[in-house]
């Protein structure tokens, strides 16, 4: 899958990679967009929503295909009984059995119903008073993550004939590709001058690479063993272990980050692009694979 944002095709732009707009919010968005407060905390996008009608905070995760609720919180909001169970592979390649519960999110007054809640005490989000909202909850909408004014918006993808863009001023259009796992999208990135495809993951609080990518960058196994050991948990507690390495530079969307620390672990994707870099952008995203628009404010 390789495509660029529909406005390029709609307006007939050739080789479209850059544009600008200064249009005010149009009336065609009235009743077709819903916003909630958002903040960046510990390199997580934390949004204020309702779960089964009760106010909660959620870590928004484009890398998760399920929603996850800590057991105590799930009981408090009354998630329904299990409707199915299945075994899935974690990013580390380990089989993890999951039970799925019924529930619904309310995002700014818009109910998005998805029967895909996993109950778990999630160590990696660092706060078991929050839920994890996966990309499945908003697949039918366009997303706008505003990291300067701190709000999170879902928009009806057909509103304004699908041509609305929220940015005033310059922005870039990023070409998307399917991830190796088939459960998300990747974007172009450079690490130490070498090109890779990076998995777009707002559920990762740091950018990381796998062993294969480390070797391609000239990082040897001995280098890794001399690095600082690390581990993190995913979904319902599956653990991924690895090492911290410092890179000379990471370049994404024309912005270079120097002396960046990355984790190296046995994950499926070559590179995972986390919120440690994404927080420097306002993001407009069509999760169905149409496109990604970025406006840098670093």
Q: What pLDDT, in 10s, does the model give residues 212-240?
A: 999 999 999 888 888 788 776 554 445 66
- Mean pLDDT for all residues in the chain: 80
**Residue 3: what pLDDT?**
32
**Most confidently modeled range among 108-117, 142-151, 234-243:** 142-151
**Residue 60: what pLDDT?**
93
**Residue 155: what pLDDT?**
93
pTM beyond 0.75: the answer is: yes
**Residue 77: what pLDDT?**
86
User: pLDDT digits over 113-142, tens only?
Assistant: 666 677 765 444 445 688 889 888 888 899
The confidence band for 8, taking pLDDT boundaries of 50, 70 and 90, is: very low
**Residue 17: what pLDDT?**
40
**Residue 235: what pLDDT?**
44
Segment 235-259 mean pLDDT? 81
pLDDT above 90 (res 159): no
Segment 84-107 mean pLDDT? 74
**Residue 234: what pLDDT?**
52
**Residue 202: what pLDDT?**
92
User: pLDDT digits over 182-197, tens only?
Assistant: 778 899 999 999 999 9
User: pLDDT digits over 14-57, tens only?
Assistant: 333 434 443 456 888 989 999 999 999 989 999 999 998 999 99
List beta partners, residue 148. Answer: none
pLDDT above 90 (res 4): no
Kindly report which listed range (65-79, 134-148, 257-271) carries the lowest average pLDDT score: 65-79
């Amino acid at each position: 899958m390789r495509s660029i944002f529909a406005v390029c095709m709609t307006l007939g732009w050739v080789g479209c990679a850059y544009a600008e707009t200064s249009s005010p919010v149009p009336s065609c968005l009235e009743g077709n967009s819903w916003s909630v407060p958002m903040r960046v905390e510990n390199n997580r996008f934390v949004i204020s929503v309702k779960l089964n009608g009760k106010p909660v905070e959620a870590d928004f995760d484009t890398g998760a295909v399920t929603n996850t609720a800590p057991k105590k919180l799930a009981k408090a909001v009354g998630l329904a009984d299990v409707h199915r169970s299945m075994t899935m592979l974690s990013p580390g390649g380990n089989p993890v059995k999951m039970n799925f519960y019924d529930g619904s999110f309310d995002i700014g007054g818009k109910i998005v119903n998805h029967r895909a809640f996993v109950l778990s005490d999630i160590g990696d989000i660092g706060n078991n008073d929050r839920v994890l909202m996966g990309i499945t909850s908003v697949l039918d909408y366009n997303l706008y993550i505003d990291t300067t004014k701190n709000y999170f918006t879902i928009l009806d993808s057909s509103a304004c004939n699908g041509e609305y863009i929220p940015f005033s001023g310059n922005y870039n259009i990023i070409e998307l590709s399917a991830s190796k796992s088939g459960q998300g999208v990747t974007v172009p990135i450079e690490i130490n001058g070498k090109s890779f495809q990076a998995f777009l993951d707002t559920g990762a609080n740091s950018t990381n690479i796998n062993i294969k990518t480390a070797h391609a960058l000239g990082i040897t196994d001995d280098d890794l063993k001399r690095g600082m050991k690390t581990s993190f948990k995913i979904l319902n507690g599956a653990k991924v272990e690895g090492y911290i390495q410092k890179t000379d530079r990471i370049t994404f969307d024309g912005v270079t980050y120097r002396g960046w620390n990355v984790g190296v672990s046995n994950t499926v994707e070559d590179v995972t692009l986390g919120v440690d870099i994404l927080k420097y952008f306002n993001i407009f995203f069509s999760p169905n694979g149409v496109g990604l628009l970025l406006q840098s404010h670093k």
